[in-house]
Structure 1
């Protein structure tokens, strides 16, 4: 047997589940009258309201973002053109909707004086009735109201995914609508041109003022460079300083002097080497090239020829021969003297070359020292030159930009163009009968659905077993139909407790058997309610009038007709519902048994229709004491549990009497009944909490008196089929 959790948190957990769409649809179908009434009323009101409006006309001007620009002058514009992107087009749509643009159109067209937009100019019915003039309003407030009214009638949209925009305006006059739509487009293009012209003017003014400052900065930087050059002797010519040019000259002179010195030293060394080697100087290069030596050698050659001739003619002692030989000796001495002079001259020239090289080297060292000083000063000079060059570059850049912006003034182009201007429409844009009818239908349907949903949301009762599980968190045990809604024509005069006996194959009787099966544990073989674990079942309800006594009697009769030993105890001492419904008027009953005045076997009554036993309540034995909580009641239930297969206790309502919770705590299981769509869910939940607090073992909740006509029954006993679908089955 499955026992449910009737704790307060169970209902909260159940309510947190998904919305039951089928329940909402069922509620919509059940409240078809409410739906039709609300939908028809709202739809009619909307349709009348829409068609009663005065006709209005909408004119549209089409603009397009320019994707190609005419390049009149070179250079980028101060205010760049718009990129052909989706975000840019959407931004321009918002610009067209801006209050600033609407204010400009209002001022251009003088719409403040138009009664269609200025409410203060319209006739005031109250003022005419009272004979008093309306109070004067602030002109600024009137203008702002007109701007807002114009903005509300303006529609700007992007045409699909193109770069085109449609600017529409709605007015009571088609000519006025076209004029205002064109005015918005013209003002928009004019605003673009004005923005570009103002940007160019501001740029020119800024660049002009900045150029003057930059020119002074360039002059100051150049003056600083010149002054520094003069102060530090860094004057230059042909791209180099004078010191650098001087060093270059000294380097050339030093190279020449060293070459000359090397040449002179080489000649001197060669001559000395030849002389040291025993040469008489005839082979010395300088002597060979000396004209004096060459002349003397010519004279010696002549004298040598004469000596040879004289030696042939005369003897060695001849005076002419001796004289000739003496002349030859003088000539040789002169030649040797000349050679010695030549060698001495070579030495002198070498000395001069060395001195000249040393002099040039000294001058070069001095110049290099000056260059080192100049290089130290050049660091700062380069800084000054860099600053001057940077200032000059900035000045040139600003000057070029100034010339470009000055050339662009007057040739600005708008970023959009008018593709087609608005023309006065020939037909009103509203009201349109087809659209008005469609809107009335949609709003009417919405109102109908809303009314049904509101009614369903305000419904406090339980409609289906799924509601029990979703809203209360309790196990649903089925749904018992109202007997009149499922009974055949010849069965409608029968009481439900007689219907289950006289028409055992009826829908109502089958519903009772289904409830009995739902109360049973799965493992029960023949008579489930006779299982030892649930021999005593208390049938309770939250409030009176929920069919608790009728259900208990029907269950008892159905169980008894199946062969079980069944006892029904009337546990409602205030109403004695079961006793009265069976037509019993005993002299002694349950109260006398509990007080010890009678034995329970002697007061039992037998139901002749089903064979069940009844423990009634006698009218004379009623008392206000708490007899059900006394030990005699426990002893009685223990004896009855052994004597019968099933004991059903018809108790008082849980929320009304305390007897119900006392008997429920002593029963093996409790069946809680709730009247279909009548018993509030919070009352059932409160009853479940009370039973849980008293220690009762609640099986679940069963809905009673369900109207099965024209609806689906969602329960353990019937499935999800309309009653008409299986009526013929039970009638067969």
Structure 2
């Protein structure tokens, strides 16, 4: 076999650069197309402007007046901040913002229409080629999807919420309110309006709580004042009728009665206070917490807030059927039950206190009744006055309790401050809808290079399955004798054409190992019909004739002859007698080529020649030709269609396998060369690539005998 020499291995970087250069168009074309599409799409993306307002939860406590407020400040915890973010992005806040913007004389600007990038690309291409497309829309502010109902409050709220983004970094008490709009001024106004609305809502919560307390305590204070006035009038009237001084008389019974009266007054005050607390608690809900002053309810309120936050997060992420959501609902129900139980227990405690105080009052009143009976005969008026004193004191205590709380509600009116404050108002923002062009270009280069790399790798994988000169040399050891570019019939008849140099190289490389033979037999075959073996046979014969070598071209294809029709030598088919002993190379059997070589076609005009007869004929032809010619070229049938080709190749001194690039597969070529190497003498087997332009393929042709390289 003709063995090639090996080159020194190159490093990985050189191989990669060589591979990239080989597939440069496959790599660059998707990248350039992606960059062009990115620039085009960026131009047609509607402008968007982002403005941001920044709020912080104020962690400092303010104490303007003594006493407690009616609503405790917010707990500075992450779930609470998340809840406040949900409040900012709620529809109620958006409705308040609509009214706020309307009061400021600002019209709600609908958000830009969300258009698919493919639609944008279609618009861009349509504008470039000057064609009107059905999807074309004016660039700039896109109409709202609810334009038909843009004047309704619901559509305005939807438009506002479409451009709103609220967030928190999870590590601080800072809340970011961002608004995206095609109008840069409206983006800033809307962000500031949402911040103002949130702060106003917080103030409304405190003011509403104080107003409800005033509405409840005001009538009660008026009623208690009337009762106190009436009690004082009754006592004054009795004192005047009895002629008693305000200090009363100083007997022991009276002193004892005075002590019991004081104690009774304290009990009644306690009863009144307990009743007031019970009534206040009944008028409030268990979730209020502050009305009953219970640490357990306060803890349950915090736990309920956390559970509601978790449930809101699950619903926001679409986990409506999550088992966790079901368990959270159960936990919320359990917390509510615990709160109701604790609330009822506290109410029962209040009622028990009232019962105890009432029992104590009953006991004291009974004691007083006994003393009054003792003093009834001589001090009836004194006892009656003392009783009136107790009533006045009790009414006064109740009245003062309600009055002090009522004054606190009045004093807290107008001094409530929100739990958050604005630290950075929104300003008209910059374009943010399409991003920066550099990002588009970077993304397009990455996508284009990825697509090009995948395409290049795919084409490399496909080419790896094709029979290549490198693969043939590396896997089979057969030398590559030459390359034949794509040829036409006209070029075939032009001996002076540029492609003739390729056949001259094939002649040089194929004849070199046979230089010591008087007459050499060369068998030319291929894998399948149409691979170009007849072209190689004709070209080699022409190159030999040009160099003065006597050659005989034998057409061994008895079923479908190819040599004679390709040269248009004669309209009749030459025939060979079936008698093997008869001379074969007679003038009647030989035909001349345009370059004055002899052509012999085996076969009969009436029926195909059998294979055994063909073998005998070829042997006789070779034996007879060794005396008249220098080279005998056997144009054998394709190995894939005619298995007997291997027997014909066994009669040759050199076998040439014609490989059609890129149609021939490496596995088939490897099998064919292995078969030829086992039957050709001294394994003299070479390959010729047809359809492969040597100028575009960096491969050097092997000289079959010496292992040296012959330049094209």
**Common fold, TM-score beyond 0.5?**
no
TM-score normalised according to structure 1 size: 0.41
In the superposition, the TM-score normalised over structure 2's length comes to: 0.42
If you compute each CA radius of gyration, which structure gives the higher value, 1 or 2?
Answer: 1
